[in-house]
Amino acid sequence: MLIEKLFLTQFKNYKICSLSFSPKINFIVGNNGNGKTNLLEAISMLCFTKSFLLNSDDECVMLGENYFNIRGEFNNLKHNRKSVQYNYDKSGSEKKILINKELLSKYSEHIGTIPVVILSPKDIVLTTGSPSERRRNFDILISQASPVYLDNLRKYSRTLKQKNSLLKESLQTDSLEKVVDGWNEKLAEYGSQIIKKRLQFTSEMQILMDKIFPELVDNYQPIIKYVNEQMDYENKSDENLQSAFYECLKNNFRDEVSRKLSLAGIQRDDFQFSMIKNGEEFAIRNFASQGEHKTFLIALKLCEFEYLKGNLMRTTEEVPIMLFDDIFSELDGSRISRFAKLVNRYGQVFITTANNGTIMNFNNGGINESSTIKVEYGAASYAN
């Protein structure tokens, strides 16, 4: 999908704004605090039904106002048009999303229909932060390609909540064991589906990383591992994954009762990132420089694009939109130019920057088709 037009009313620092975009590269330039990220946030809300920055709807209403509207006009390569409208009114906290003017009742049905990959400064938590950040990021990604995965995640998390609230009640251990066992069976059923998908995802991502990383930088070999402290996923066949998962949950029962908390399961999974440099493998989290973190993240996001595009090829054939928010600050000119060469291969791309030099480095890299939007105090205009 491509976003052709965006209309904003009272969204953050935009009183009223309408914009048309290039189907290829869109630079959004402007000084700090003028509204570049806000534009990407608005686009993300149309695609995900919520903000990628996890801001609440209330926070998105222009200060002193009561409501906001965002509308996007989308089109795809087959010329299937789609209009998405996101309306929010503070009085009554009412949020409405309309697809082609029809009210969307089940938000999950919209996820993945306008695929999008985002990289923003906050994503540094993917390489520096806790496992939950990486799981969240990849869950959003895989869900856009697989509604079944999203459904399994929802079922798993609902079941886990029920199990946890049960563990908090002080029931007799015998009767508790029976009920917990029922929940464990369900967790193993949904969880093993999720693990299978995550394993498959990790191996696809590794292949993509091996291909894309050398295009950005020389002499590094990236590695992604999908791990769980209590279970060795790699050496399980599809058939015995579910039973091994169930056994693992069962083995934790006594400890779970005494701690009143679930201790095992996919909510403890991690995706570990490392790189081999000069023959040594090092964990990115502990040893990478700032520029190496950035390079890894950019490569990861380019691979996410390829993963999503490749998987959607078998179903909707949609091509993801890329949103790159202010990601070039620690990168040297040569890395930006190499990145620019890669970007030509992608579909519609948005790149925000407070620095005109970034656009120059891009042009040195030889980009094909671009448009530049200048943002000044909540007003956007075209610079070319």
Ligand X SMILES: Nc1ncnc2c1ncn2[C@@H]1O[C@H](COP(=O)(O)OP(=O)(O)OP(=O)(O)O)[C@@H](O)[C@H]1O
The item of Mg ion, ligand X, none sharing an interface with residue 366, based on CB under 5 to 8 Å by kind, is: none
Question: Nearest approach, Cβ of 134 to Mg ion (angstroms)?
Answer: 23
Amino acid present at 226 = Y
Nearest CB to ligand X, comparing residues 12 and 301 = 12
H-state helical runs in 217-251:
238-251
Applying CB under 6 A, among 33, 291, 310, 357 the residue interacting with ligand X is 33
- Contact between 270 and 131 under an 8 Å Cβ cutoff? The reply is yes
- Contact between 364 and 339 under an 8 Å Cβ cutoff? The reply is no
Using the rule CB under 6 A, give the single segment among 27-35, 128-136, 186-194, 366-374 that binds ligand X: 27-35
Which residues ranging from 308 to 337 are in contact with ligand X (CB under 6 A)? 326
Using the rule CB under 6 A, give the single segment among 43-51, 59-67, 243-251, 255-263 that binds ligand X: 59-67
The item of Mg ion, ligand X, none sharing an interface with residue 354, based on CB under 5 to 8 Å by kind, is: ligand X
Which residues ranging from 33 to 92 are in contact with Mg ion (CB under 5 A)? 36-37
Smallest Cα–Cα separation from 343: which of 118, 24, 88? Answer: 24
With tokens 């069962």, the residue in question is 250
Look at the chain and count its residues: 384
Smallest Cα–Cα separation from 196: which of 161, 157, 240? Answer: 240
Dihedral, CA atoms, 201, 204, 210, 214, nearest 10 degrees? -80
Smallest Cα–Cα separation from 375: which of 13, 5, 4, 63? Answer: 13
Applying CB under 6 A, among 6, 19, 35, 152 the residue interacting with ligand X is 35
Applying CB under 6 A, among 25, 36, 149, 183 the residue interacting with ligand X is 36
- Contact between 281 and 274 under an 8 Å Cβ cutoff? The reply is yes
Amino acid present at 132 = S
Applying CB under 6 A, among 1, 42, 43, 62 the residue interacting with ligand X is 62
- Contact between 248 and 192 under an 8 Å Cβ cutoff? The reply is no
The item of ligand X, Mg ion, none sharing an interface with residue 32, based on CB under 5 to 8 Å by kind, is: ligand X
3-state secondary structure of 347: coil
Smallest Cα–Cα separation from 142: which of 286, 292, 287, 310? Answer: 310
Nearest CB to ligand X, comparing residues 13 and 76 = 13
With tokens 């996919």, the residue in question is 266
Which residues ranging from 193 to 222 are in contact with Mg ion (CB under 5 A)? none
Q: Does 9 bind ligand X (CB under 6 A)?
A: no
Nearest CB to ligand X, comparing residues 30 and 191 = 30
**# chain residues binding ligand X, by CB under 6 A:** 17
Applying CB under 6 A, among 2, 6, 26, 38 the residue interacting with ligand X is 38
Nearest CB to ligand X, comparing residues 62 and 153 = 62
Residues that bind ligand X (CB under 6 A): 12-13, 30, 32-38, 59, 61-63, 326, 354, 375
Q: Footprint of Mg ion on this chain (CB under 5 A)? A: 36-37
